[in-house]
Amino acid sequence: MIKRFLSKERLDLLIYGGLLLLALSECVSEPLSRHSGIFVIVVGLLRLVLYPKAVKNLFSCRTVLLLILVYLVGVLVGVAHSGHAWLTLTEDYSVRFNYSALLVLVIPALIKAENKLVNIMLLSGVSMLILDGHIFWQVFEGNMRPAPLSSRWLVALAVFYGMLTPMFFVFALKCRGRLKYAFGFLFVMGFLGTVATGIRSAWLSVIVVLLGLTFYEWRGNLKRAFGIAGVMIFAISIIAFANARYLDRMASVADMKQQQVTERFLMWESTMKMFRDNPLLGVGAGNWGDMYQQKYISPDAKEPFIRHAHSNYFQFLGEYGLLGLGAYLVMMIGLLIFFFKRRKETFALAMLAAQISFMLYSATESPYLEYGAMRLYWLLLGVSVAGTIAAKRELLK
């Protein structure tokens, strides 16, 4: 009776519709993206329980699932060590919203058509274009540090643009016909949006990845590669010199005496003290802010109310110790290797670029704590794994 009402086709349609809504709302509305993500996960798990044959589709991505499992175990150990495990598990957003990692289980198992995955990427682009309009309006109003639509944290902007822009660049290179132009347009708008955010670490991560992709794609034609790289740098220079504030922001990247830079070094120094006192398990998940303010803050610090380490790696080192940081790095580096080995596939190369950008940006910011940004990360990871499997399936045929 249940299966008659909840047929495979009906459930698959609901999951696909939920993913389209998630992609469309991710950069625009936190509540809508959160609820659509939960909807996809719940219906997807129900689909796998009622029709377990789909689980065999996960065999091709078992390496990715194992890497994520290692990471989640590391997080749970940190939660158990926090001293208030249930409160941390239910109230700490960075821990609680790790359930979004289930998207990497649901999408590869149930979305096998490559055109559906491309549609999800296109709607992510539409979401980014809406965010572009919001960002550009603020810039025209004189705000050089525009706020995002779906989050109170600027870090979300860096993840949205830092991951989507390199991915759109890859799709523009690899796709044909109208898709090439569509993704090319999305890449240009993503590139402009990245600059408009005013976030220096986002600029650096995106530029490094785009230059790397350029020289990789045209490694047999260095003259063209240098030409394209020159166009990118020229475009950035034009934008910078057109506005003195952007030029000042770019010039400040190398200013090691700037207050924001020195403050980060003080926070990282304090985190190292936390690590030395708690080397194996850290101070416990969710405890970095309290421990920093109460015990480890430097007397030279100018921002005493900071509650995160301004770096994913230092955040994990302080809160989770060697065990948690090791689990996180196993996942991050393992995913790099997974997609690098399959870089001839479009989705794999796109996610490889996004993964590198995310890891670079994470050196000086803590996107792990921004649940909206991490939900986009898990969505893109799930879509990319499914796309890589779909390409392999077509190759085998």
Please tell me the predicted confidence (pLDDT) of residue 170: 96
CA-CA distance, 68 to 330, in Å (whole number)? Answer: 9
Kindly state the tokens that stand for 245. Answer: 């504030």
CA-CA distance, 3 to 8, in Å (whole number)? Answer: 8
Sign of CA pseudo-dihedral 293, 298, 299, 302 = negative
Residue 338's identity, in one-letter code, is F
The length of the chain, given as a count of residues: 397
For residue 264, how many C-alpha atoms fall within 13 Å in the half-sphere facing its CB?
Answer: 18
Please tell me the predicted confidence (pLDDT) of residue 396: 41
CA-based radius of gyration for the chain:
21
CA-CA distance, 173 to 56, in Å (whole number)? Answer: 32
From first CA to last CA, the distance across the chain in angstroms is 36
Please tell me the predicted confidence (pLDDT) of residue 151: 63
Q: What is the pLDDT along the chain (397 residues), one digit of tens a residue?
A: 566 778 889 999 999 999 999 999 999 998 999 999 999 999 999 999 999 888 888 888 899 999 999 999 999 999 999 888 888 888 777 788 899 999 999 999 999 899 999 999 999 999 999 999 988 888 888 776 777 776 666 778 888 999 999 999 999 999 999 999 999 999 999 998 888 887 888 888 998 999 999 888 888 777 777 887 777 777 766 666 666 666 666 665 555 666 677 888 899 999 999 999 999 999 999 899 899 999 988 888 888 788 889 899 999 999 999 999 999 999 999 999 999 999 999 999 999 999 999 999 999 888 888 888 899 999 999 999 999 998 765 544 4
- CA separation, residue 63 to residues 66, 303, 314 (Å): 5, 42, 26
CA-CA distance, 139 to 108, in Å (whole number)? Answer: 39
Reduced to 3 states (helix: H, G, I; strand: E, B; else coil), residue 358 is helix
- Cβ contact 392:339 at 8 Å: no
**Domains of the chain, residue spans:** 2-257+305-396
Burial of 191 (0-12, 13-18, 19+ CB in 10 A): buried
CA-CA distance, 23 to 121, in Å (whole number)? Answer: 7
Closest CA relative to residue 95, chosen from 358, 328, 285, 319: 285
Kindly state the tokens that stand for 99. Answer: 């359930």
Please tell me the predicted confidence (pLDDT) of residue 367: 87
Burial 196-233 (b: 16+ CB within 10 A, else e): bbbbbbbbbbbbebbeebbeebbeeeeeebeebbeeee
Please tell me the predicted confidence (pLDDT) of residue 24: 95
CA-CA distance, 156 to 138, in Å (whole number)? Answer: 16
Sign of CA pseudo-dihedral 52, 53, 56, 57 = negative
